[in-house]
Amino acid sequence: MTTPAPAVEMTGISIEFPGVKALDGVDFRLYPGEVHSLMGENGAGKSTLIKALTGVYGIDSGRITVYGEPKTFSGPAQAQEAGISTVYQEVNLCENLSVAENIMLGHEPRRGGRIDWRSLRREAGTYLARLGLDIDPRSALGSHSLAIQQLVAISRAMVVDAKVLILDEPTSSLDAGEVAQLFAVMRSLRDQGVAILFVSHFIEQVYEISDRLTVLRNGQLVGEYLVGDLSRRELVAKMIGQSVEELSALDAAVPARSSASTGGEPTVKAIGLGRRGAISPFDLDVYEGEVVGLAGLLGSGRSELARLLYGADHADTGQLTIGGHSGRLRTPRAAMKLGVAFSSEHRKAEGIVGDLTVRENIMLALQADRGWARRIPSRKADEVVAKYIDALGIRPANPEALVRNLSGGNQQKVLLARWLATAPKVLILDEPTRGIDVGAKGEIMRLVAQLAADGMSVVFISAELEEVLRLSHRIAVMRDRTKVAEITNDSTTSVDDVVELIASGGRS
């Protein structure tokens, strides 16, 4: 059988930013009728390669062909006209517009020079149906969860009848059922001859959906492989540049959980804390040196609980005591004064400031706590920034680099550095490992374990139950915006135990 010509072929692609060789002679091939995963740690060059293909970045050298024709796009609009659609990890839609308007934006059906709203909603419904989404096209996008917004973004990409579909972390905000929906659509599109480039840090998902994969490391090509020819362990080893034996040693280096002391008064004590319409009243204690994990499905109330502990949302029932100070928190600033730090799951919308440098982002919370009239001396700021760039392995190790130019994993590290610089007593981490590579995940998990061992109280949220079990001393189980159970995490506790509690709503 004759192998078809590549839908996309990139040869010898090199891109250099000031002080950084982002891509160094990378080759990449994507064929019609396949799902091809692009793998690598954060900073490996995955997003840069995608942006080179779609014209976001110009290339310094190399050649790009699309269905055999040489192409150089000046931007995503030109790439889209050529049949290449991209859905990025961070959903960039208009929450104030309807679902239908977002899907059909730029492709609105018209009659007599005006938008035909009935046809617009009908066509949008057709694209939603292809994803198995039963939602009202007239509803405001902002009224839906982040997961639904992600699927709407994918529906929008289908409007142009893409021959090449690029999905950059499309499953990072989806639950298992929604992932299954998306994969069914991807398989259908693949069978229709669409070439799909898939980027994900969920290795099991990569092996479930992909036909082939390409591995990048430090801006260079490691290799191209059929999925069946490369084990998961070998893939991880190639991504982080270590042998399988070295990888085993790396896993062993993660500190084992010690038994946290639950004597004395807890650092955080919530009694009947709740917010109408957001989360039912709950009790929760977090002791010094303890990691309390929050486990539950998407929309179970994990983030709502965390936001009440930080004062990002106002509780209307119950009592909260932090470090002996009682009273409901009215603002995040009040929480910071009590030594509470909160890293949101929405790192771009509520975390990093893309137009500021790494240095400015790290110092932001520390300077805000001190007050803008009392500037932190430059020498002190330099010491703090250098300390955390080194401790967290932020790449590139350039404090003057704009944060928007960093990979997702390194942006997450900058956000963690910002809060660690405030020396908090309580650290709340909402999905700190979401959308980042396996190496960065390991580094962050080791850091969290070490912070707890040093006496910090940590609330840890992750959609990956294996991470929650690995780090937590106790686990609060959430379902339907209610805390339904709490268990001690010991050597006998398994993922299946937690899943059963979620499924049963805490009933034995």
Q: 258 falls in which pLDDT band (50, 70, 90)? A: low
User: What's the number of domains the chain is made of?
Assistant: 3
pLDDT tens for 459-493 read 999 877 888 998 999 999 998 889 999 999 988 89
157 in any annotated domain: no
pLDDT tens for 182-198 read 898 889 889 989 999 99
225 in any annotated domain: yes
Mean pLDDT of 422-447: 82
Q: Are residues 504 and 431 in the same domain?
A: yes
Q: Are residues 209 and 60 in the same domain?
A: yes
Share of the chain above pLDDT 90, in %: 45
Cα 263 from Cα 288, distance rounded (Å)? 9
Q: pTM for the complete prediction?
A: 0.60
Instruction: Name the DSSP class of 142.
Output: G
Instruction: Name the DSSP class of 2.
Output: P
On average, the pLDDT of the chain sits at 86
Residue, of 307 and 234, whose pLDDT is higher:
307
Task: Tell me the C-alpha to C-alpha distance, in Å, between residue 458 and each of 260, 267, 290, 393, 453.
Answer: 11, 10, 6, 21, 10
Closest CA to 211 of 225, 231, 192: 225
Q: What is the pLDDT of residue 243?
A: 58
Q: Which amino acid is at 60?
A: D
Mean pLDDT of 398-406: 89
360 in any annotated domain: yes
Mean pLDDT of 378-398: 88
308 in any annotated domain: yes
Task: Put residue 476 in one of left, alpha, beta given phi > 0 → left and psi -120 to 50 → alpha.
Answer: beta
**End residue of a domain, out of 251, 285, 314:** 251
Mean pLDDT of 102-124: 92
Show the domain range for 298: 266-339+425-508
Residue 131 pLDDT greater than 80, yes or no: no
CATH of the domain at 235: 3.40.50.300
102 in any annotated domain: no
Q: What is the pLDDT of residue 349?
A: 64
Mean pLDDT of 88-97: 80
Q: 371 falls in which pLDDT band (50, 70, 90)? A: confident
Q: What is the pLDDT of residue 259?
A: 53
Q: Are residues 309 and 188 in the same domain?
A: no
Q: 406 falls in which pLDDT band (50, 70, 90)? A: confident
Mean pLDDT of 144-164: 82
Q: What is the pLDDT of residue 503?
A: 77
Q: Are residues 72 and 178 in the same domain?
A: yes
Q: What is the pLDDT of residue 250?
A: 46
189 in any annotated domain: yes
Q: Are residues 83 and 177 in the same domain?
A: yes
Mean pLDDT of 277-303: 90
Q: Are residues 376 and 448 in the same domain?
A: no
193 in any annotated domain: yes
In sequence order, which residues have a C-beta less than 8 Å from that of residue 198 and are 6 or more positions away? 35, 36, 37, 38, 167, 170, 186, 206, 209, 210
Q: Are residues 322 and 380 in the same domain?
A: no
Q: What is the pLDDT of residue 433?
A: 81
Q: 176 falls in which pLDDT band (50, 70, 90)? A: confident
Cα 44 from Cα 117, distance rounded (Å)? 44
Q: Are residues 332 and 225 in the same domain?
A: no
208 in any annotated domain: yes
Instruction: Look up tokens 């060789």; give the residue.
Output: 21
